[in-house]
């Protein structure tokens, strides 16, 4: 289990991209390694990949804010809750090796989880209110006890804004759409994100 | 192969952008207001309650070559040279002011018309009452 790895379980769509970017940024800014699975893999390989990422990550962040139908009369999205369950299963079935594994559950409203997934009560459950600044604050505050030198959330937020300027400018100049989550693969984005630390 | 080359180029561009501090000033909305931040610094120089005041302050910063105004999600709302940014924001403020004046004017005209109609009705009623009184006499 890598002490610096943070597994991220969240939706991969353009609506969530405005939250995913500050989420990834804040994790890299505080010197940790975000671990996300590519969505394009085939079913079985993807599940194995997710399991390996969970096994090798000390921290896990599960965002359940989108476990709802995207349109009326559609079924809700189960992927995030399913992967969250797998991660809890890994921890519970390895009580010795995974004793230090920590979970952060994110949602868009306070206490909404109690209506649909009350079994996770007792864990760290925070609300980001669909606000990019708030998600940075929640992540930063959760990691604060593990690192006393962690910067203030305002500093990360301001650095993120500066990074966004470069991100949009560079992607536009290369013919990519900076608002399209599929314009680049996630590994590409993560490879690029460490350079945000040069803003320091 | 082509994608890899493109990725390498992108990473190089990011390194160059991140390691160079230009004279840009960023105006970033947040929980405590609109922060004015020089590119490359970790703290905001000033915080204002309104965007307009933040833009004016950013213009006053001697080294500001470009003002970048951000949206609530951190994305870019507007980027411009200092003089243009100020004019643009003032234009918006002025047009809002004009709209408010126009609305007030319309509302006042409506209330004036309403008052006139009410006075007219009152007069007609009084006239009718007087006529009835005189016929009774």
Name the B residues in 85-124 with CB < 8 Å from any A CB: none
Q: What is the pLDDT of residues A45-92, one digit of tens each?
A: 788 888 989 999 999 999 988 877 767 777 777 888 889 999 999 999
User: Is some CB atom of chain A closer than 8 A to the CB atom of B30?
Assistant: yes
| pLDDT given at position A152 | 92
Residues 6+ apart with CB under 8 A from B45: B36, B37, B38, B61
ipTM score of complex? 0.77
Q: Does A196 touch chain B (CB under 8 A)?
A: yes
DSSP annotation string for B43-87: S-SEEESSHHHHHHHHHHSTT-SEEEEE-TTSSEEEEEEHHHHHH
Residue of A nearest to B76 (CA): A165
pTM of the shown model: 0.75
Separation CA A166–CA A192 (nearest Å): 11
Residue B16 pLDDT > 90: no
- Check if A141 contacts B (Cβ < 8 Å): no
Mean pLDDT along residues B40-45: 85
pLDDT at A180 over 70: yes
| pLDDT value of residue A104 | 92
What does the pLDDT read at residue B5? 46
pLDDT tens per residue, range A18-28: 899 899 989 98
- Are A158 and B73 within 8 A, CB to CB? no
Distance CA A102, CA A61 (A): 9
| Contact check, Cβ <8 Å, B75/A198 | no
pLDDT digits (tens, 9 = 90+) for B52-77: 888 888 888 766 678 889 988 888 88
d(CA A7, CA A61): 6
Q: How confident is the model at residue A197 (pLDDT cuts 50, 70, 90)?
A: low
A21 versus B8: the higher-pLDDT residue is A21
Q: Which residues of A touch B2 (CB under 8 A)?
A: none
DSSP code at position A182: T
- Reported as a pLDDT band with limits 50, 70 and 90, residue B87 is very low
pLDDT in tens, A121-163: 777 888 899 999 999 999 999 999 998 889 999 999 999 998 8
**CA diameter of chain A:** 50
pLDDT at res. A80: 87
């Amino acid at each position: 289990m890598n002490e610096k790895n943070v597994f991220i379980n969240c939706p991969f769509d353009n609506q969530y991209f405005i939250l995913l970017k500050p989420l990834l940024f804040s994790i890299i800014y505080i010197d940790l390694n975000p671990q996300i699975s590519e969505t394009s893999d085939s079913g079985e390989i993807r599940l194995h990949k997710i399991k390996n990422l969970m096994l090798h990550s000390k921290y896990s962040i599960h965002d359940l804010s989108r476990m709802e139908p995207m349109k009326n009369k559609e079924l809700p999205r189960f992927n995030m809750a399913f992967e969250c369950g797998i991660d809890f299963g890994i921890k519970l079935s390895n009580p010795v090796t995974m004793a230090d594994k920590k979970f952060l559950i994110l949602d868009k409203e306070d206490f909404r989880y109690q209506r649909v997934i009350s079994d996770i009560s007792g864990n760290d459950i925070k609300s980001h209110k669909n606000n990019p600044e708030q998600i940075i604050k929640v992540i930063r505050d959760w990691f604060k006890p593990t690192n006393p030198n962690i910067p203030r959330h305002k500093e990360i937020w301001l650095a993120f804004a500066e990074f966004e300027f470069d991100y949009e400018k560079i992607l536009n100049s290369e013919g990519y759409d900076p608002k399209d989550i599929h314009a680049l693969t996630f590994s590409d984005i993560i490879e690029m994100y460490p350079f945000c630390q040069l803003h320091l | 192969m082509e994608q890899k080359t493109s990725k390498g180029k992108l990473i190089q561009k990011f390194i160059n952008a991140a390691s160079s501090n230009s004279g840009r000033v960023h105006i970033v909305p947040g929980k405590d207001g609109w922060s004015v931040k020089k590119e490359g610094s970790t703290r905001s120089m000033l915080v204002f309650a309104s965007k307009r005041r933040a833009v004016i302050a950013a213009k006053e910063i001697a080294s500001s070559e470009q003002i970048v105004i951000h949206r609530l999600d951190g994305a870019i709302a507007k980027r411009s040279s200092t003089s243009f940014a100020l004019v643009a924001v003032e234009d918006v403020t002025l047009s809002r002011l004009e709209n408010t004046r126009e609305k007030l004017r319309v509302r006042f005209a409506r209330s004036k018309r309403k008052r006139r109609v009410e006075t007219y009705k009152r007069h007609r009623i009084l006239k009718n009452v007087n006529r009835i009184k005189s016929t009774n006499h």
